[in-house]
Amino acid sequence: MWRQKSPPSLEADSQIYQFQYTFGEHSVSGSTSAFQADRAGSSPAARSTMKERFYSISERRCFEIGLNENVKGLMRSVANNDLQKAKAYTRVLIENEKSESNKGFCNAIRTKLEVSSANLLELPADLRTFLEMEDVSVSFNEKRYHLTDRERAVYEKINAADEVNNRLSEMGIRHLNSTLLYGESGTGKTSFGRYVAYKLGIPFAYLNFAHCISSLLGTTAKNIANVFDYVKKRRCVFMLDEIDAIGLRRGKEDVGEMSRIVIGLMQSLDLLENGVVVIGATNRPDVIDEALIRRFSLKHEVKTLTDHETLQLATMFLDDVGVAYEEGNVLDYAKSHDKQAEIVNDIVFGIIEMLKSGKGFELKTME
């Protein structure tokens, strides 16, 4: 929506009305030199009429340049039936829109775009049961994610290796950019994986081994190999969740099918190219085969949040959605809550109660 950046003003020296209008990152400006008039001989009514004409001229000039590059990109993506690019352009337009009158509409569209299931990329039919590939450039909202200093340090190492992976290949150095995340459930391991994919600007591939085992016992090794064959041809962040479900220490558990799966998984990791970023996640690093752990160049414990980090996450989320809150309430909550998944869940339920009751927002543990 066009908005006036500064009202036309009559400058004493030039006696020319100046105007400037903006739309997103674009602006149009000009002067009314073609309609100069003698100020001394103009009545207030005449000058008012002249201003109206100047507004009309400036607005017409704005609409003449109408389509900026983002709008053109959106239209081109729709015409080419490229849904992912269309969503990306829509996200940019929403972020650039500053009009208060459009805020509610933009927030509603943004919410729909951020639903993960709506941004899954098409996969071969035989892989859809246990592998997901998500375009996080649209679905991940960085303003509602708190990156601790601990995870920031890990991301910087992953990013550094990713930036030079081509040069490493040219030097004949094979380096698997792989990180094993471990820690309690709900501390944000999967969210960190999605964050890494978002920052690197590549898709997020997600494989949950617990689901894979329960549905494909007996043919698991073969299907995992098929997943790796597919992923290694695509630049992405490849997350292996609940890796302890199949990566058990050999000799201490099932030595038949499970042992073959562990060996197959290690072989598949060894065949990945430098451009694939691998993130493994587990709650039980103590039961994982040591040879499998060695395949990960980084090992990092994702700890629960401190009081201050919980406060930052809650306020970031609430500020982004535009919900007013009492600082004392959020401070009290932060003292006894430290898991990202639970905190976000409590925030959402608090918003639901606020909308339903019409009362103020209160952050508390949901029973």
Residues 237-282: tens digit of each pLDDT: 999 999 988 766 555 545 566 777 888 889 999 988 878 999 999 9
Q: What domains sit in the chain, N to C, each tagged with a CATH number?
A: 3-65 (no CATH), 69-113 (no CATH), 126-134+147-301 (3.40.50.300), 307-357 (no CATH)
Q: Please say if the pLDDT value at position 156 is more than 90.
A: yes
Predicted pLDDT at 221: 76
| Pair 280, 296: CB distance under 8 Å | yes
Report whether 29 contacts 57 (CB < 8 A).
no
- The pLDDT-based confidence of 85 (bands split at 50, 70, 90) is confident
Q: Is the pTM of this model over 0.75?
A: no
Cα separation, 281 vs 269, in Å, equals 15
Average pLDDT, the chain: 79
Q: Which of 75-89, 93-107, 182-196, 319-333 has the lowest mean pLDDT?
A: 75-89
When mean pLDDT is compared over 65-69, 213-217, 271-275, the highest value belongs to 271-275
pLDDT at 18 over 50: no
Write down the residue that tokens 């869940």 correspond to: 345
How does residue 295 score in pLDDT terms, banded at 50, 70 and 90? very high
Asked if residue 328 has pLDDT above 90, the reply is yes
300: its two tokens: 């990092």
pLDDT, residue 9, reads: 38
The pLDDT, as a whole number, for residue 256 is 66
> Distance between CA atoms of 295 and 346, rounded to whole angstroms?
37
Predicted pLDDT of residue 44: 56
pLDDT per residue over 223-236, tens digit each? Answer: 888 899 999 888 89
Task: Please give the C-alpha separations between residue 141 and each of 96, 204, 321, in angstroms, as whole numbers.
Answer: 15, 14, 11
Q: 33 vs 17, 154, 168, CA distance in Å? A: 7, 59, 61
Partner residues linked to 10 by β-bridges: 17
Looking only at the bridges linking them, the beta strands covering 237-241 and 277-282 are parallel
Give the Cα separation of 215 and 217 in Å (integer): 6
Report the pLDDT value the prediction gives residue 351, as an integer from 0 to 100: 96
| SS3 category, 45 | helix
- Reply yes or no on whether the pLDDT at 347 is more than 70: yes
32-66 confidence digits (pLDDT tens)? 444 444 444 455 555 555 555 544 544 444 444 45
Are residues 266 and 295 in contact, defined by beta-carbon separation less than 8 angstroms? yes
Which residues make Cβ contacts (< 8 Å) with residue 269, sequence separation at least 6?
176, 178, 228, 278, 295
Residue 157 has pLDDT above 50, yes or no: yes
pLDDT at 82 over 90: no
Structure confidence at residue 32 (pLDDT): 44
Which of 71-80, 149-158, 194-203, 284-293 bottoms out in mean pLDDT, i.e. has the lowest? 71-80
Q: Are strands 17-23 and 26-31 parallel, antiparallel or unpaired?
A: antiparallel
Would you say residue 73 has pLDDT above 70?
yes
Q: Nearest 5°: CA angle at 153, between 136 and 320? A: 45
